Amino acid sequence: MRKPLYLVISLLFLGYGLIRLGVGGALLGQKIGLIDFQAFHEPITEIGNFLERSRNKQVVPVSVAGYVSYIALMGLVLSVGALGALRHRSFGLKFIGAFLLMYALLFVNFQTINPKAIHLAVCAVLFGASLWTRKGLGNAV
């Protein structure tokens, strides 16, 4: 029972990581002028507005390019962690834990809690389940 759950959770993390990496990378490409898609104009503007509104609260001030780069980096860290977890490498869950820390640091940096905290909470629960299922696999992996 634990092995299939571990596999599903790892695949969910991989999918979520690839989405964050892809979206962050695409938005970064848009921001620095490598690509120009109409669909990305509004998200870039919304991120800029959010950063401007929170400018006085930010512990470490970031630009739009810096923010979307961080989102892409989070996706890369999570994807590498998920691939490591799928291959039962010791670094896998460590990278997933690093992703959770990076995610939490966003809330600390902006000194705000918003609905995206639900994503963090779900990821934390899945991470806990991964630790539980991985421990239960013992010598089977």
Q: Residue 99 and residue 71: Cα distance in Å, rounded?
A: 10
- CB atoms near residue 39 (< 10 Å): 8
Per-residue model confidence as pLDDT tens digits over 79-94: 999 999 999 999 999 9
Mean pLDDT of 114-119: 93
Model pLDDT, residue 83: 98
pLDDT tens track for 54-80 = 999 999 999 999 999 999 999 999 999
pTM across the whole model: 0.91
What does the pLDDT average to over 17-42? 97
Burial of 82 (0-12, 13-18, 19+ CB in 10 A): buried
Structure token digits, residue 140:
């089977």
| Confidence (pLDDT) at 139 | 46
Q: In terms of pLDDT, which residue wins out, 112 or 14?
A: 14
Distance CA 99, CA 19 (A): 14
Q: Categorize the per-residue pLDDT at 141 as very low, low, confident or very high, splitting at 50, 70 and 90.
A: very low
What rounded mean pLDDT belongs to the chain? 94
Question: In the 8-state DSSP scheme, what is residue 56?
Answer: T
Residue boundaries of the structural domains of the chain: 2-140
Average pLDDT over residues 98-113: 96
Angle between helices 38-53 and 2-31 (to 10 degrees): 90
The pLDDT score that the predictor gives to residue 135 is 76
